[in-house]
């Protein structure tokens, strides 16, 4: 989940984490680099732990359908489990709700959870319900299972490996723009597709689990491709190179970019796509092609890992591009 | 952690849980009766999972010292682990903070966490930091470890067993009254003691872990003795009987009750004491006496478990008392 920086903090979000929370981290937290912790599970297994929160007016809109809010909350957490190759197991839920959210709202919220529990084979482990005089604030702590020692970490990217993404990029960022009322100049069905991609992430759990033993480094894209590749490059001590000509676009996003090529920035810098970004050795390429066909989900090579640091973005001519936004902007 | 009912909900908190969340519960959630879930751990062990949230203006005051807020947040969760007999392992943290909480506030909040991490031997497993336009909203998901099958459940109370509490009762409720400015007519040092009991719970982890194999049923007192015994009686399918003459009072609380005997209601109905309430067979009484001396913590028999349902409160003459408040009132 993308976070936002409070203006009262000259440190910013990552500075705050480094300064205040990293010193508190247990060894199981992997230096807070992966957004998950790994703890010992039953024989041969580990648990993957992850928590994410969403706030009304920041991460979702007051009038969003309650079932969709519930599913987005759950899925942003499941996406992080997918990005480690884990299989989801269950979750804890905290709801801080204003009085304006009555039983009818909660019934529809719970229905959304029930639907996704069935979809992803998980159950509710417990929770806390409190009242708040402020906006609805919801959080989930999700637990996944993975074979011991097999979780795919952000720190695993290696020089010479190829860089891949699942699905298509930029849809959610274009969807936010459309949802706010901007006419993208595209068909209504394309606009609806983009808005739907923003509203309801599809955690790539099937793909993530299948990448265990194949991908060297992995994370989900929630802050935007360039920003997230920056996190992975830093964690791995390498540099990432993106070739914009290779970015996978949906039909809808391609239509929006045809109207305004500058919108490629949505694919590079926009957040909330919740696709998987991973590195893998060149030899894995054919296997990834088969896997993409089997799962009916595009897996696209978009660049490479090199020695060095940071992220370079190359235009179709091979020239370095400047990326406008290195992180997701909320409403 | 005590919760509050939103007036928009005719169902109330427990009705909402029964209606909307119980159908979502995984088998590991124990029917949402124990406020914890148990999942398989490393060989011979289980993990105990618990989450609790606190909201500024509801569960703590805006001017409360940040370190104390952090410790209260952590400790209300650890108290639930103690009540299962578990040893704390680590936690996930969600902070939703308004812009007014700058880096200095967060530094002091983190210092409170660091102190309690060292005190309880736990580490931070991860978290999420988001900004909110509303009040600070903080939650923790705590994880404890326990020998497999040995967790002490609320459903374990048995007819004929004695009922015990740790420490003293009513301190926190009297502390809230004093903190709000009411003159209890007691010494300043007594008043400060009571306010401190309200501000900073002492999770009874050492005692809880030692009660494994001794206590039949257990929970922590967060909603108030009568309300919480009601939960335990219901979960166990039994009735609970409290003898008010036996309620353990601190010197400070005894002084406050001497000024106004009606304040016994604080010991019966007030929340946030975070003492342990448990049942045990009569044969355990001598062992519990030794344990109390060893841990320098009072363990007091306050009544018994009978066949039937609900809770009866007996005055010193053995007559049934009516209890005013069956649950904790927040600010």
Best mutation site among A126, A133, A139 for testing chain B: the one with the most B CBs within 10 Å?
A126
Are residues A155 and A227 in contact, defined by beta-carbon separation less than 8 angstroms? no
The pLDDT value recorded for residue B330 is 37
> A308 and A165: one domain?
yes
Condensed to tens digits (0 to 9), the pLDDT of residues B33-69 reads 888 999 999 999 999 999 999 999 988 889 999 999 9
Task: Verify whether the Cβ–Cβ distance B132 to A130 is below 8 Å.
Answer: no
The last residue of a domain, from among A147, A177, A210: A147
Same domain, B80 and B197: no
pLDDT at B270 (0 to 100): 87
In a domain, B51, yes or no: yes
Is residue B99 located within the same domain as residue B186?
no
Q: How distant is the Cα of A250 from the closest Cα of chain B, in angstroms?
A: 30
Query: At B324, is the pLDDT very low, low, confident or very high (cuts 50, 70, 90)?
Result: low
Q: Do B16 and A106 touch (CB under 8 A)?
A: yes
Chain A nearest-CA residue for B37: A125
Question: What's CA A91's distance to the chain center, in Å?
Answer: 18
Q: Is residue B1 part of a domain?
A: no
Residue B320 resides in a domain: no
pLDDT reading at B331 higher than 90: no
One domain, residues B168 and B25? no
A36/A135 same-domain check: yes
User: Which are the contacts of A262, defined by CB distance < 8 A and separation ≥ 6?
Assistant: none
Pick from B147, B175, B198: which residue ends a domain? B147
Cα separation, A307 vs B227, whole angstroms? 63
Q: What is the pLDDT of residues A48-75, one digit of tens each?
A: 999 999 999 988 889 999 999 999 999 9
Q: Is the pLDDT of residue B178 over 80?
A: yes
Same-domain check for residues A160 and A132: no
**A244 and A209 belong to one structural domain:** yes
Residues B131 and B251 in one domain: no
Question: At B7, is the pLDDT very low, low, confident or very high (cuts 50, 70, 90)?
Answer: very low
pLDDT at residue A326 tops 70: no
Q: Hey, which residues 213-252 in chain B have their CB within 8 Å of chain A?
A: none
A299 part of a folded domain: yes
Interface predicted TM-score (ipTM) of this complex, two decimals: 0.92
Question: At residue A7, does pLDDT exceed 50?
Answer: no
Examine residue B167 and state whether it is found in any structural domain, yes or no: yes
d(CA A53, CA A61): 14
Do both A173 and A277 map to the same domain? Answer: yes
pLDDT digits (tens, 9 = 90+) for B115-170: 999 999 999 999 999 999 999 999 999 999 999 999 999 999 999 999 999 999 99
Beta bridge partners of B218: B278
pLDDT at B177: 94
Task: Please say if the pLDDT value at position A323 is more than 90.
Answer: no
pLDDT band, residue B260 (cuts 50/70/90): very high
State the residue range of the domain holding A34.
Answer: 12-147
Residue B19 lies in a domain: yes
CATH of the domain at B179: 3.90.650.10
Share of chain B above pLDDT 70, in %: 95
Question: What domain count does chain B have?
Answer: 2
Q: Same structural domain for residues A167 and A304?
A: yes
Q: Which of A11-15, B230-234, B301-305 has the lowest mean pLDDT?
A: A11-15
In a domain, B165, yes or no: yes
Interface test with B, best of A132, A153, A154 (most B CBs within 10 A): A132
Q: Of B147, B181, B200, which residue is a domain's last?
A: B147
SS3 A162: strand
State the average pLDDT over residues A1-25.
Answer: 72
Residue A281 lies in a domain: yes
The CATH number covering residue B102 comes to 3.30.1330.10
Which two tokens mark A258? Answer: 């045809």
User: What are the pLDDT digits (tens) for A99-126?
Assistant: 989 899 999 999 999 999 999 999 999 9
Tell me how close the Cα of B223 comes to any Cα of chain A, in angstroms: 13
Q: What is the DSSP code (8-state) at residue B25?
A: B
Residues B210 and B309 in one domain: yes
CB contact under 8 A, A51 and B94: yes
Residue of A nearest to B102 (CA): A8
Contact B125 A96 (CB under 8 A): no
Q: Looking at the structure, do residues B95 and B170 belong to the same domain, yes or no?
A: no
Query: What is this structure's pTM?
Result: 0.93
**Range 79-138 of B in CB contact (< 8 A) with A:** 89-90, 92-94, 96-103, 106-107, 109-110, 113-114, 117, 122-135, 137
In degrees rounded to 5, what are phi and psi of residue B202?
-115, 95
Average confidence (pLDDT) over B91-113: 96
Per-residue model confidence (pLDDT) at position A10: 76
DSSP classification of residue A19: I
């Amino acid at each position: 989940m993308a976070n936002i920086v409070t203006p009262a903090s000259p440190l910013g979000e990552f500075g705050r984490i480094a300064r205040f929370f990293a010193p508190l981290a247990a060894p199981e937290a992997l230096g807070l680099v992966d957004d998950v912790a790994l703890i010992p599970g039953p024989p041969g297994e580990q648990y993957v732990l992850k928590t994410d929160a969403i706030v009304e007016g920041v991460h979702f809109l007051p009038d969003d359908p309650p079932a969709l809010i519930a599913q987005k909350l759950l899925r942003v957490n499941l996406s992080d489990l997918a990005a480690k190759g884990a299989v989801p197991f269950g979750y804890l839920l905290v709801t801080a709700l204003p009085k304006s959210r009555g039983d009818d709202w909660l019934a529809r919220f719970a229905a959304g959870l029930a639907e996704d529990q069935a979809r992803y084979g998980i159950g509710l482990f417990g929770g806390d319900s409190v009242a708040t005089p402020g906006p609805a604030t919801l959080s989930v702590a999700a637990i996944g299972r993975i074979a011991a020692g097999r979780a795919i970490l952000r720190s695993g990217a290696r020089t010479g490996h190829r860089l891949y993404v699942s699905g298509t990029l930029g849809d959610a960022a274009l969807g936010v723009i459309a949802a706010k009322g901007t006419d993208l100049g595209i068909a209504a069905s394309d606009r609806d597709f983009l808005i739907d991609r923003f509203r309801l992430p599809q955690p790539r759990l099937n793909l993530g689990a299948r990448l265990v033993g194949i991908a060297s480094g992995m994370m989900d894209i929630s802050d935007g491709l360039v920003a997230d590749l920056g996190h992975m490059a830093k964690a791995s001590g390498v540099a990432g190179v993106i070739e914009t000509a290779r970015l996978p676009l949906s039909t809808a996003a391609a239509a929006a970019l045809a109207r305004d090529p500058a919108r490629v920035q949505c694919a590079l810098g926009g957040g909330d796509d919740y696709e998987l970004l991973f590195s893998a050795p060149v030899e894995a390429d054919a296997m990834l092609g088969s896997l993409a066909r089997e799962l009916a989900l595009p897996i696209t090579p978009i660049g490479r890992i090199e020695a060095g640091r940071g992220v370079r973005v190359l235009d179709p001519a091979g020239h370095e591009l400047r990326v406008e936004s290195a992180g997701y902007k909320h409403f």
